[in-house]
Chains A and B, each alone.
Chain A
């Protein structure tokens, strides 16, 4: 009888091998040795110790989760703030970045490098926060009834700001931030240039793209990192 294949040995490990092949495995030292090697590795993976969580853990998770669960939002109040906010933010970030580039060409002056980096990190963190809100709105939108008019306006403002930040990140050699901003910019452009009332299929496609690329999550993680870094400076 031929020796067992790797697939059959894997099946044996998970107790899914038929009895005839199982009998061969028990009798054949060569197959047994292959099986023991695989078992050593897979048992070892299973035995990696994991910190224990008590019976009440699920309740604790719920308590922490509840404030983050999307609830009905006072959309109109929020809208008023956002009609002014992005434009102001774009002006401030734009002015800062333009100043920074000019400053760089003139050489060192009043602003220390550390202070410049701190302001840049704060601007970046703020930008990622606002982008995250637009992405979250889109991901949570219900197909069929959605009106993306506000999100489009906000996305347009964010695109301009994003471009400045991306160019700065590229100039300063921060390629990982530049890559994220590039990915974000493409999605913001799609939102800004898309219809205010997308078809359910279009909306679903955009939602799936954001989720499959993990964009919202990456923006959240890097936004948090950037803010922490800014606070530490």
Chain B
């Protein structure tokens, strides 16, 4: 029988590991993408995926089904990645990507075709800045932005995930975008 997310989550809440496995298999890739965007490092992102599902399993009793399991676990992943960023900061470690490290693939800008070397350098720069910039958002703002921007969630779904009214969810996304603009636009503008 094919479980829906909510059925699997309900069984997992009762301690059924088979049901939890369904959820892990279904959501690992999106959690990896989120963690990579936040940490900018493949190995860290892998660790974050493990940590996220470990936390999710331990906190299943708190999952009340108001939001979809995917958005709930997304929020956990965002907090895990943030913890890592903060722990690095406290421990005085460098950000994961060094200046000369290549990101995989290419970066396609909006108005240009093939990326120039300057544009690739700029994309690396923005990628390195994204995690710390996200760390300056509140938990609500960060989650709302990530869900809206990367997962394409609508306002209503974000509102359910955050437990707020739709208008508040819309405002939260706006505040997040404003803060990210302030943090990233100067660097973005330099190479445009």
Contacts and interface: CB of A to CB of B under 8 A. Distances in A.
B150 A61 contact: no
A140 B58 contact: yes
B37 A70 contact: no
B61 to A, nearest CB: 8
Q: Is chain A's interface secondary structure helix, strand, loop, or mixed overall?
A: helix
A10 B188 contact: no
Interface stretch (A40-48, A110-118, A190-198): A40-48
Q: Is chain B's interface secondary structure helix, strand, loop, or mixed overall?
A: helix
Contact of B42 (A13, A51, A217): A51
Which size bracket describes the interface of B in this complex? 35 or more
Nearest to B111: A40
A217 B87 contact: yes
B79 A44 contact: no
A187 B91 CA distance: 20
Which size bracket describes the interface of A in this complex? 35 or more
Given A41-B188, A65-B50, A68-B50, 18 more contacts: A10-B177, A13-B177, A16-B170, A39-B110, A42-B177, A43-B110, A44-B109, A44-B126, A45-B184, A47-B108, A47-B123, A48-B107, A48-B126, A50-B32, A58-B29, A59-B25, A217-B83, A217-B84
Interface of A: 6-7, 10-11, 13-14, 16, 36-51, 53, 57-59, 61-62, 64-66, 68-70, 139-140, 142, 176, 179-180, 211, 214, 217-218, 221-222, 225
